[in-house]
């Protein structure tokens, strides 16, 4: 997984294996056009900031804060993803 440590990737894989319903929730995100476009914008802008010399984590914080309102709007469908990333 890009941008995720191997330890974190292993934890995520284990959670997905133990909780298949999480995987189904994540698949639903792929079908949500608004959320998909939002993540594409976020990814693109983070990459631009990184090319400009910013550290990846700092760039991510800046861009995610920029789109915080839109992420809150979609918090219900993003909930499983956010829970997965926090564990």
Q: How confident is the model at residue 25 (pLDDT cuts 50, 70, 90)?
A: confident
- pTM of the model as a whole: 0.68
**What does the pLDDT read at residue 23?**
77
Residue 49 and residue 62 in contact, taking contact as beta carbons nearer than 8 Å: yes
The Cα 44–Cα 24 span in angstroms is: 26
Q: Looking at residues 44-57, what average pLDDT do you find?
A: 94
């Amino acid at each position: 997984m890009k941008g995720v440590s191997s330890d974190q990737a292993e934890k995520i894989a284990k959670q997905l294996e133990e909780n298949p319903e999480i995987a189904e929730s994540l698949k639903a995100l792929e079908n949500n056009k608004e959320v998909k476009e939002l993540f594409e914008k976020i990814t693109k802008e983070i990459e631009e900031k990184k090319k400009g010399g910013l550290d990846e984590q700092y760039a991510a914080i800046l861009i995610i804060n920029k789109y915080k309102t839109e992420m809150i709007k979609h918090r219900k469908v993003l909930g499983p993803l956010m829970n997965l990333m926090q564990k």
